[in-house]
Each structure stands twice: as C-alpha cells, then as structure tokens.
Amino acid sequence: MSPYDRGMPPRSPLPPRHGLDAAWLCTAERDRPGVPQPTWPSMAAWLHHRLAERVHVAEFLAGGRFVYQNGAPVTAADPYLPTTFVWFHRDLADEPVVPGPLHLVYRDERIVVIDKPPFLSSIPRGRHVVQSVVVRLRAQLGLPELSPLHRLDRVTSGLLVLATERRWRGDYQTLFQRGEVTKVYRALAPLRANLRLPVTVRNHLRTRPGQWQGEVVPGAPVNAESVIELEGAHENTGRYRLTPRTGRTHQLRLHMLGLGIPIIDDPLYPVLQDVDVHDFRRPLQLLASELAFTDPIDGGQRRFASVRRLPVTAEVAGAR
C-alpha cells in the first residue's frame, strides 16, 4: 500500500514556518485499479488545476516555492508525474496582534499548560493563523508538534493543555474524551432573584454547520451537563462557578442563557452581535480557571489554576 492509499504523506522536506507545517498535495497513483487516470501536460498544469483559486501558482513556480519530496523545486517545464508529493508554504494574511500575554503555567516533557488571553484562537483557523496559541507557542518554545488536547473558544480566557509531541497526544486526549478531567470555570452574569442555585443543567445541545449559535434540542437524549453555583454578588452582577461534566460546543454559554443569566459581553448569546472580529475591547466574562486530572503516564495528580481573575479586562485599552 502506497502513502497515497493511506492518505499519509512522507516527512516534509520543508521546515515549519511561523510554527506551521508545509501544505502538501499528491498526484494520482499510477495504474490504480478501477480509477481512470487524468492526464496533464505538466506538473504546472496540475498545480493550476488544484490551486489556482487559492495560490498564485505561476509566482510560486517562478520562486521555487513548490518542492518535491527530495527538496528539488518544481519547475514550469516538469512533465506530469503520478504518485508524486508536492510541498509548499501558503502566504499568510496580515493579522492584528491579539493583545495580552500567554502565561506559561506549567511545562514538562509531555505537556504544556498555558493561560491564554481572550480573543486568541487555540488553533490556526480561518482568519486567525499566526494569532493562535499553537502557532505562537510552537515558535516561542521550539516545539513544532505542539497541539491542544481540548477546546477553548477564541473569546474565552484561561487554561489550555497542550501535548508537546504527537506521541503523547493520544494518552492525554483520552482523558478529556472520557470526561476524566475536572474543569472549573468562573463567569460574570446578571443576578436573577427567583433562580435557586446550585442547579444542574442537563439537556441536548447541537450546532449546525454554517451557524454561529448552538441550540437546545427539547426531548432529545441528554448530551450536556453542567453544575452552576453562585459564589458571590456585587450590585446586579453575580460571580458564578461553572463545572461542566461534558464538553459540548458553547455548553456553558448556552446553559447560562437557558437559566436566564447570559454571560456578560457574550457576542453570540442571547443575540448574535455585529462585533468586528478584531475589536478586543469587551472580552467575554468567562474564565477557564481550574483543571485537575491524574496523569496517564506517571499517575501523578495534576492541578492547575489560572493567574487571571474576573472581571476579564481588555489587555490594551481601546485595542482594535
């Protein structure tokens, strides 16, 4: 079985750039049974077909930015070759710098725990590539395989655990998938006089492709559970302790909304707000404040706490 059949490329001949691995493509396999083989006059024609809508192919070819597995550049005159990998680095758009430090809470051979500011994406995605935890930290710590073990929304602040290398990822990620990691969040939200707390919210949440907001599905089997407690109050604002027992997308934000106490400065709930993605002035008042688990490798007890406190404040006043 070839690498093409397995969908697994060989090792990249290009080093990471800005903490990102090179992208790759592979031409069709020679004599693949039952699959008609396209014919192309050149590798350049094939690259135009695959990438013309996303990449200036002629400029990349002229600059030697497409390379074969042996590191040699692809040229405009090269004949088409089946079962051939081509590697390249995409151009990255300019991104406003997300303000606020990435606090390094803990680091050992296997994991890194950081305390992220609001508005910083955990992974490179869409318009947030260089301005993401993964890309920043891969370069800062010299860890090209660094990857997060769980989700943390871009607008949420607080603790995020990452694996230093691929070989450690499975053992730790299993803890999160099985719900064996204790997570505690804190949030600021309105007070509601007739709401009796603590309360356990249990329902079915789902998200739809192409929609920003999640939703509750009445009558469907429970797939989301959170414990909501009130820790203190000041005037009309409560300070809440939120303990999710599952990890659905936007779970805490939807559960607080369902109780009639939406989290302060939430750009999605209860109403989708027209806020510029690079407006950093009003952070969501939700903080991933505590994490605890038993280390799957050495059995040690791991407990981490955020250095941030509520209210979460804009790191740079008026930053845009």
pLDDT confidence of residue 28: 83
- Terminal CA-to-CA distance of the chain, rounded, Å? 51
**Do 71 and 13 meet the contact criterion of CB atoms below 8 Å apart?**
yes
Q: For the residues of 254-283, what is the DSSP string, one character each? A: HHHHHTT-PPTT-SSSSS-----TT--SS-
> Helices H, strands E: what count in the chain?
6, 15
C-alpha to C-alpha distances, 97 to 100, 102, 122, 155, 218, nearest whole angstrom = 9, 13, 14, 15, 41
pLDDT digits (tens), the chain, 320 positions: 344 444 568 889 998 877 778 889 999 876 556 666 667 899 999 999 999 888 899 999 999 999 999 999 999 999 999 889 999 988 877 788 889 999 999 999 999 999 999 999 998 876 667 789 998 899 899 998 999 999 899 999 999 999 999 999 999 999 999 999 999 999 999 999 999 999 999 999 999 988 889 999 999 999 999 999 999 999 999 999 999 999 999 999 999 999 999 999 999 999 998 888 888 999 999 999 999 999 999 999 999 999 999 999 876 533 33
Which residues 6+ apart lie within 8 Å of 280 measured at CB? 98, 99, 118, 119, 314, 315, 316, 319, 320
Which tokens hold the place of 204? 């079915």
pLDDT confidence of residue 176: 93
pLDDT confidence of residue 30: 65
- Enzyme catalytic residues: 153
pLDDT confidence of residue 70: 94
CATH for 103-305, options being 3.40.50.300, 3.30.2350.10, 3.90.740.10, 1.10.10.10: 3.30.2350.10
Question: How far is 206 from 219, CA to CA, in rounded Å?
Answer: 13
pLDDT confidence of residue 266: 97
Report domain extents, the chain.
Answer: 1-91, 103-305
